[in-house]
Amino acid sequence: MELSTSVLLTIALAPLVGCLLAGFFGRFIGRAGAHTATILGVAIACGLSFYVLYQLTAGGAPVYNQNIYTWFEIGKYSAHVGFLIDRLTAMMMVVVTFVSLLVHIYTIGYMHEDPGYQRFFSYISLFTFSMLMLVMSNNFMQLFFGWEAVGLVSYLLIGFWFKRPTAIFANLKAFVVNRVGDFGFLLGIAGVLYFLGTLDYATAFASADSLVGKTLQITQNTHWDAATVICIFLFIGAMGKSAQVPLHVWLPDSMEGPTPISALIHAATMVTAGIFMVARMSPLFELSETALSFVMIIGATGALFTGLIGIVQNDIKRVVAYSTLSQLGYMTVALGVSAYAGAVFHLMTHAFFKALLFLGAGSVIIAMHHEQDMRYMGGLRKYMPITWITMWVGSLALCGVPFFAGFYSKDAIIEAVGESHRWGSHYAYFCVMAGAFVTALYTFRQMYMTFHGKERFTVVHDHGHGHHVDHIDDHGHHEQGIMHETPHETPWVVTLPLILLAIPSLLVGFFTVEPLLFREWFGSAIHVNEANNVLGELAKEFHGSAAMALHGFFQLPFLLVLTAFAIQTYIYLFNPAVADRIKTTFKPIYNMLNHKYWFDAVYYIVFARGGIALGRALWKGGDTAVIDGVLVDGSANLVDRIAGGVRRLQSGYLYHYAFAMILGLILLLGGYWLVGQ
């Protein structure tokens, strides 16, 4: 049975309808109307996405690849809006709509006091639409549309609380940094059109081999390999969207947005668009060893070094944000060693457990009345058991403890890097291995500081104040460490999504690792050259999910996790003073991490301030001084001055004119006489 176009259109458009209803008619349909409309839209999309996935796997439906309408057609070049639905797409659709649905439900609880309730629902539904357009696209143009549209929604949502100076700084920064990536991405697309003559995926990939041996002239004597140039440019796009070093700086700041979108956009879905894109482009990337090495090294650097920053963060959301950066690094490394399926698999498990961790952090934030600093938490486990347990599930999955979902995907990536012989793979192997240790360090620290140990806040009951604190005024306006009521478990609309995410965080790896990683489940969607097939090598040693997990208990990554667990347990449960002592002993390292390796500061000075200084210099120096001052007004003044000088001759006195006539006569006669001689 074939996939039907109307079903696919419904999937894409249902969230858009919800968005328009909540956005334009929010005032008429009210809060309940807004959340009902949007949740209904996303629920339809989610249900049908599962149906599409079912059709493609159990139903034996062939891959769907059709254009919906023509966007433009000029000579042999054309662009369309259309869908390519294979298993890779279907899996992304399920992940996106499922997490989005849970986030919609969660938002009812998280945003219920916020005056921008309808607007928020409208935005997240718009996001779901954009993301679906991105993953369902069958061509580069629509991919770029979705790519930019999710960036727009991200901009709107990071700046959702638009009165906060930090939020509107962060959203501008996020957009512009993403645009740096998109700059590369667009050039990559232009390169594809140049060399392959089409914007259509299927046609481009079919003729991908024609890139071999082609070069692009860069200067008179420099020619670069076509595939390498295209792939690196495309990957620069992924570096922006998926926050890879050195374009990662926007992601931690994006935490200024409300927590539900941190979970949906900045952890589970949008930031993984780059990973998806590279996996989708695997037929191109397979052509360039150089580009893949580049991808791998960038990813590995991010996996380790951004994770390290997570260790020194005190804001509960920022810990998760740096963890996201690090995990995106893992996915990118997997792409770089040609283990595309591994990257996508980690993308999926990560979507579940990271959304869970963010939503859990949000649940804590609600309970703490919008306190995000972990130094004022502690001991919360007895007040909010559901959040506590589900977050432990997410944390163990993140650390890669065997049997949890994250174990299967992360362990596979580490193993795959170990198998790879690509240039730089030793460095990558070290990074991902050390990264496992670092992940465990910040994860256990976060869990202990939040849920365990002594309570570092005091409860002062004074009714009538504190409960109705406006969301917008939460940051730093009240005294930290003082609660006006005892924290308590959040309502069911918040905990239900946590539970529903905890289930896949625990189980999805165990049940899907075999087909996804080792049985070429993705089929034609992902192309790997035989020589690069590291997952194929691993498949030879695979003897079932349980065996893999049991084996995992005796492997280095798990031993590192155990070590980290022991260290953090000792420090945060028994001897908190050690943490401060380490901080003072390794002051320079602490400083470096606390300043995020000075990336933000340097960028701010060089690009933001530098850009403004350059603009001012060009404006005052070029436009005002030279063009207007010298050329335009200068020539006007010159005319004025000459005219002013000449005017003096026209004095109006008769004797001046008579004198001039006599003078003229003398000169004329004199000249005549001289010439005559």
Binds other proteins by CB under 8 A, chosen from 206, 212, 218, 658: 218
State yes or no: residue 73 binds other proteins (CB under 8 A): yes
Binds other proteins by CB under 8 A, chosen from 1, 6, 58, 74: 74
Binds other proteins by CB under 8 A, chosen from 20, 149, 434, 469: 149
Binds other proteins by CB under 8 A, chosen from 28, 54, 162, 570: 162
The tokens describing 174, both together, are 């996020």
Least Å distance, CB 29 to other proteins, is 16
The tokens describing 225, both together, are 């390999």
User: Which CB atom, from 144 or from 345, has the smaller least distance to other proteins?
Assistant: 144
3-state helix, strand, coil in the chain (%, to 5): 75, 5, 20
**Region near other proteins per CB under 8 A, out of 171-179, 341-349, 403-411, 658-666:** 171-179
**Region near other proteins per CB under 8 A, out of 170-178, 264-272, 407-415, 432-440:** 170-178
Q: How many residues bind other proteins (CB under 8 A)?
A: 53
The tokens describing 549, both together, are 């997990």
Least Å distance, CB 121 to other proteins, is 15
Nearest CA to 516 among 639, 371, 341, 313?
A: 341
Binds other proteins by CB under 8 A, chosen from 28, 194, 430, 511: 194
State yes or no: residue 180 binds other proteins (CB under 8 A): yes
User: Which CB atom, from 281 or from 341, has the smaller least distance to other proteins?
Assistant: 281
State yes or no: residue 71 binds other proteins (CB under 8 A): yes
By CB neighbour count within 10 A (0-12 exposed, 13-18 middle, 19+ buried), where does 315 fall?
middle
Nearest CA to 376 among 462, 447, 315, 320?
A: 315
Taking the C-alpha atoms of residue 445 and residue 431, their distance in angstroms, rounded to an integer, is: 21
DSSP state letters, 21-34: HHHHSHHHHHHHHH
> How would you write 127-148 as a 3-class SS string?
HHHHHHHHHHECEHHHHHHHHH
Binds other proteins by CB under 8 A, chosen from 82, 109, 159, 252: 159
User: Which CB atom, from 137 or from 259, has the smaller least distance to other proteins?
Assistant: 137
State yes or no: residue 469 binds other proteins (CB under 8 A): no
Least Å distance, CB 221 to other proteins, is 15
Taking the C-alpha atoms of residue 326 and residue 609, their distance in angstroms, rounded to an integer, is: 29
Least Å distance, CB 115 to other proteins, is 11
Binds other proteins by CB under 8 A, chosen from 25, 50, 51, 183: 183
Residues 614-633 binding other proteins (CB under 8 A) are: 614-616, 618-619, 622-623, 627-628, 631-632
What letter would DSSP give residue 625? I
User: Which CB atom, from 195 or from 408, has the smaller least distance to other proteins?
Assistant: 195
State yes or no: residue 673 binds other proteins (CB under 8 A): no
**Region near other proteins per CB under 8 A, out of 181-189, 312-320, 422-430, 588-596:** 181-189
Taking the C-alpha atoms of residue 228 and residue 230, their distance in angstroms, rounded to an integer, is: 6
User: Which CB atom, from 91 or from 132, has the smaller least distance to other proteins?
Assistant: 132
CB neighbours of 423 closer than 8 A, spacing ≥ 6?
289, 293
CB neighbours of 71 closer than 8 A, spacing ≥ 6?
78, 79, 80, 81, 141
**Region near other proteins per CB under 8 A, out of 179-187, 253-261, 285-293, 528-536:** 179-187
**Region near other proteins per CB under 8 A, out of 174-182, 329-337, 340-348, 526-534:** 174-182
**Strand partners of residue 458:** 482
Residues 29-68 binding other proteins (CB under 8 A) are: none
State yes or no: residue 69 binds other proteins (CB under 8 A): yes
CB neighbours of 530 closer than 8 A, spacing ≥ 6?
536
User: Which CB atom, from 140 or from 358, has the smaller least distance to other proteins?
Assistant: 140
State yes or no: residue 168 binds other proteins (CB under 8 A): yes
User: Which CB atom, from 257 or from 307, has the smaller least distance to other proteins?
Assistant: 257
Least Å distance, CB 75 to other proteins, is 3
**Region near other proteins per CB under 8 A, out of 14-22, 143-151, 296-304, 547-555:** 143-151
User: Which CB atom, from 200 or from 415, has the smaller least distance to other proteins?
Assistant: 200
Residue with token string 């003072």: 584
Least Å distance, CB 332 to other proteins, is 22
Binds other proteins by CB under 8 A, chosen from 4, 66, 70, 563: 70
Half-sphere exposure of 150 (CA within 13 A, CB side): 30
Binds other proteins by CB under 8 A, chosen from 58, 60, 72, 554: 72
Give exposure, 345-382, as e/b (b: 16+ Cβ within 10 Å).
Answer: bbbbbbbbbbbbbbbbbbbbbbbbbbbbbbebbbebbe
Residues 323-352 binding other proteins (CB under 8 A) are: none
Q: Which long-range contacts (CB under 8 A, 24 or more apart) does 558-563 make?
A: 558/400, 558/401, 558/402, 560/433, 560/436, 560/437, 560/440, 561/399, 561/400, 561/401, 561/436, 561/437, 561/439, 561/440, 563/437, 563/440
The tokens describing 472, both together, are 């917008």
Q: What are the φ/ψ torsions at residue 79 (nearest 5 degrees)?
A: -135, 140
Label residue 228 left, alpha or beta by phi (over 0 means left) and psi (-120 to 50 means alpha): alpha
Nearest CA to 386 among 493, 483, 496, 486?
A: 496
**Region near other proteins per CB under 8 A, out of 160-168, 438-446, 588-596, 658-666:** 160-168
Binds other proteins by CB under 8 A, chosen from 11, 99, 124, 186: 186
Least Å distance, CB 212 to other proteins, is 19
> CA angle, 250 as apex, 247 and 254 as ends, to 5°?
155
Least Å distance, CB 226 to other proteins, is 11
In the complex, which residues of this chain contact other proteins (CB under 8 A)?
69-77, 141, 144-145, 148-149, 152, 155-156, 159, 162-163, 165, 168-169, 172, 175-176, 179-180, 182-183, 186-187, 189-191, 193-194, 216, 218, 611-612, 614-616, 618-619, 622-623, 627-628, 631-632, 636
